[in-house]
Amino acid sequence: MANLRVGLAGVGMMGRHHARVLRGLDGIDLVGIADAAGDAHGVAAGLPVHESFDGLLEMGLDYVMIAVPTHLHEDFALKAAAAGVHAMVEKPLAPSPESAERVTDAFKAAGLVGAVGHIERYNPALQQLRARLAQGDLGEMYQVVTRRQGPFPARIADVGVVKDLATHDIDLTAWVTQSEFATVAAQAGFRSGREHEDLIAITGRLANDAVTSHLVNWLSPIKERLSVVTGERGAFVADTLTADLYFYANGTVQTEWDAVAGFRGVSEGDMVRFSFAKPEPLKTEHEAFRDAVLGKEADIVTMEQGLATVRVANAVLESARSRQTVTL
Same domain, 165 and 107: no
- Determine contact, residues 236/138, Cβ cutoff 8 Å: yes
- Determine contact, residues 138/269, Cβ cutoff 8 Å: no
Same domain, 321 and 223: yes
Can you give the CATH number for the domain in which 53 is found? 3.40.50.720
**Residue 140: partners with Cβ closer than 8 Å, 6 or more residues away:** 231, 232
Same domain, 56 and 76: yes
Which residue range(s) make up the domain with 82? 4-120+283-302
Q: Give CA 249 to chain center in angstroms.
A: 28
Can you give the CATH number for the domain in which 152 is found? 3.30.360.10
pLDDT at 13: 86
pLDDT at 85: 98
Same domain, 194 and 289: no
pLDDT at 155: 65
Same domain, 129 and 183: yes
Same domain, 128 and 270: yes
Same domain, 253 and 292: no
Count of CB atoms within 10 A of residue 24's CB? 10
Same domain, 250 and 289: no
Q: Identify any residues that bridge with 148 across adjacent strands, giving them in sequence order.
A: 216, 225
**Strand bridging mode 86-90 / 114-117:** parallel
Same domain, 153 and 216: yes
Per-residue model confidence as pLDDT tens for the chain (328 residues): 799 999 999 999 899 999 999 999 999 999 999 999 999 888 888 999 999 999 999 999 999 999 999 999 999 999 999 999 999 999 999 999 999 999 999 999 999 999 999 999 999 999 999 999 999 999 999 999 999 999 987 666 678 999 999 999 999 999 999 999 999 999 999 998 888 999 999 999 999 999 999 999 999 999 999 999 999 999 999 999 999 999 999 976 666 666 666 666 556 788 999 999 999 999 999 999 999 999 999 999 999 999 999 999 999 999 999 999 999 9
CA distance 109 to 77: 13
How many structural domains comprise the chain? 2
pLDDT at 193: 82
Same domain, 11 and 88: yes
pLDDT at 228: 98
**Residue 149: partners with Cβ closer than 8 Å, 6 or more residues away:** 215, 216, 217, 218, 219, 220, 222, 223, 224
pLDDT at 264: 60
Same domain, 144 and 198: yes
The pTM assigned to this predicted structure is 0.93
pLDDT at 267: 62
- Classify 159 as helix, strand or coil: coil
pLDDT at 120: 97
Same domain, 65 and 170: no
